[in-house]
Amino acid sequence: MAANTDAIVLVGGKGTRLRPLTLTAPKPMLPTAGVPFLTHLLSRIKAAGMRHVVLGTSYRAEVFAEYFGDGTQFGLEMEYVVETEPLDTAGAIRNVADRLRGEDAMVFNGDILSGTDPAALLNAHHDAAADVTLHLVKVADPSRFGSVPTDASGRVTAFLEKTPNPPTDQVNAGCYVFRRDVIESIPAGRPVSVERETFPGLLESGATLHGFVDSSYWLDVGTPAAFVRGSADLVRGIAPTHALPGSPGERLVLDGASVAPEATVDGGSSVGASASIAAGARVSGSVVFEGARIERDAVVEDSVIGRDARVGAGTVLRGVVLGDDVDVGAGCELLEGARLWPGVVLPDGGVRFSTDV
C-alpha cells in the first residue's frame, strides 16, 4: 500500500527566522545531527515503505538536486518541481500534481520534525475511506495554534483560528494524506491556503476529512532555539530517525572532527567534520558546523556555530547563532538571541548582549 503512495515534501521556504544560517543554505539542508535536516525525514519515508518522492522547491532549489540527485543512494526515486512564485501550501501541493503516480499522496512539511508513524497514518486514511487525512497532534498549549476538533469517529468537524480558549488540544501537525483527485481539484497557478481555503471548502462540500490524532514528538524547527533542540533530540534518540551517523547518545562527533580529552561535549551536541574543540572548552546542546573551532576554556550552550567560524579562548556563548566564517575573539560574552552574520569579526574582549551584528 505505501509503495503505491507518493510522498510530497514541501521545501520551498526561505527560512528567514533562521537567518543568518539560511543565507548560505536552505533550512532543510542545514546540518542537523550530522546530516542535512531533510535526510532524517527521507529516512522515515523510506522506512514506511514509500519510494517515490517529489520535492516542491523554490529557494536555492539547485542545492537539493545537487545533494540528493535522483535519490538512488538513499533507496528512493526523487523528482524536483520548482515553484517560480510563492503558492502557499495547497498551491505548492497542486504544483506537483503532474508528477504523481498513485491514488494517494502523503504530504510533509520539510521543516517539521515529527515522531508520528507514516504507515499508521496511511492505514488510518484507508480505513476511514477519507478524501484527506490530517495528522493532528495534542499539545499542552493549543491557544498558540489554530485547533482542529474531530467527532467520535475521527471525522474533522471544523478548522478554528487561534483563540485563548480552544475547544480541543488537537492542532494541525502539517502532514496530510490526499487522494490524488482532491489534489487535482485544487486551483492551479495561484496561491492557495490549505487551512483557509482547501480544507474549509472540502468540509463545506461534504468531503470526508479524517483526523489521525496522537501525542507523538513534534517540533517546528523554524527558529534557532527549536533548531538546536531538534538536533539535540535527534542525537539523543528522543526524536526518531534512521539517518543518524552513529549511535544515539549525549554527543555526536563526525569523522575528521577533533575533541580534546579535557573538553566536555554533551547535551546532544553535534560536532561537524574537521571541526575542533580545544582543552577545557564546554559545548552543550549545540550544533557545531564543519570546520568550526572552539578554543580553550570557551563555553558554548544551546548555540549554532557556523561553518569555519571561530570561538576564541574563554568566550561564553549562550543561545547564540554564529554565521559562517564568523570570528569571535577571546574573552567575549554573547547571550540569548545574539546572531552574528557571516564574516563578522569581534575583537578580543568584546562584549555583546542579545543583538544582531
pLDDT digits (tens, 9 = 90+) for 298-354: 999 999 999 999 999 999 999 999 999 999 999 999 998 889 999 999 998 766 555
Confidence of residue 78 (pLDDT cuts 50, 70, 90): very high
The answer as to whether 139 is a domain residue is: yes
- The domain boundary, picked from 172, 198, 220, lies at 220
What digits encode the pLDDT tens for the residues 33-51?
999 999 999 999 999 999 9
What digits encode the pLDDT tens for the residues 81-112?
988 888 888 899 999 999 999 999 999 988 88
What digits encode the pLDDT tens for the residues 242-259?
999 989 999 999 999 999
Beta bridge partners of 266: 284
**pLDDT recorded at residue 355:** 52
**One domain, residues 270 and 163:** no
**One domain, residues 208 and 314:** no
Confidence of residue 21 (pLDDT cuts 50, 70, 90): confident
In this prediction, residues 176-182 reach a mean pLDDT of 95
**pLDDT recorded at residue 350:** 64
**One domain, residues 156 and 19:** yes
Half-sphere exposure of 317 (CA within 13 A, CB side): 33
Confidence of residue 3 (pLDDT cuts 50, 70, 90): low
CA neighbor of 76 nearest in space, from 23, 137, 3, 24: 3
The answer as to whether 71 is a domain residue is: yes
**One domain, residues 9 and 132:** yes
**One domain, residues 170 and 59:** yes
**One domain, residues 172 and 23:** yes
Confidence of residue 15 (pLDDT cuts 50, 70, 90): low
**Which CATH number covers residue 260?**
2.160.10.10
Which domain does 209 fall in, by range? 2-220
**One domain, residues 201 and 294:** no
**In the predicted model, is pLDDT for residue 130 greater than 80?**
yes
**In the predicted model, is pLDDT for residue 60 greater than 70?**
yes
The answer as to whether 231 is a domain residue is: no
**One domain, residues 71 and 196:** yes
Question: Which residue carries 564574516 as its cell?
Answer: 343
The answer as to whether 240 is a domain residue is: no
The answer as to whether 228 is a domain residue is: no
**In one letter, which amino acid is 6?**
D
C-alpha cell at 312: 576564541
The answer as to whether 115 is a domain residue is: yes
**One domain, residues 208 and 271:** no
**One domain, residues 210 and 319:** no
**One domain, residues 203 and 265:** no
Count structural domains, the chain. 2
What digits encode the pLDDT tens for the residues 141-169?
888 887 888 898 999 998 887 778 888 88
- The domain boundary, picked from 180, 199, 220, lies at 220
How many angstroms separate the CA atoms of 320 and 318, rounded? 5
**In the predicted model, is pLDDT for residue 13 greater than 80?**
no
C-alpha cell at 259: 575533541
**Which CATH number covers residue 119?**
3.90.550.10
The answer as to whether 344 is a domain residue is: yes
pTM of the model: 0.91
**One domain, residues 150 and 216:** yes
**In the predicted model, is pLDDT for residue 272 greater than 90?**
yes
Rounded to a whole number of angstroms, the distance between the first and last alpha carbons of the chain is 51
Min mean pLDDT across 18-27, 51-60, 255-264, 348-357 is at: 348-357
**In the predicted model, is pLDDT for residue 128 greater than 80?**
yes
The answer as to whether 241 is a domain residue is: no
**pLDDT recorded at residue 231:** 96
How many angstroms separate the CA atoms of 17 and 53, rounded? 27
**In the predicted model, is pLDDT for residue 356 greater than 60?**
no
**pLDDT recorded at residue 264:** 96
**pLDDT recorded at residue 351:** 62
In this prediction, residues 258-269 reach a mean pLDDT of 96
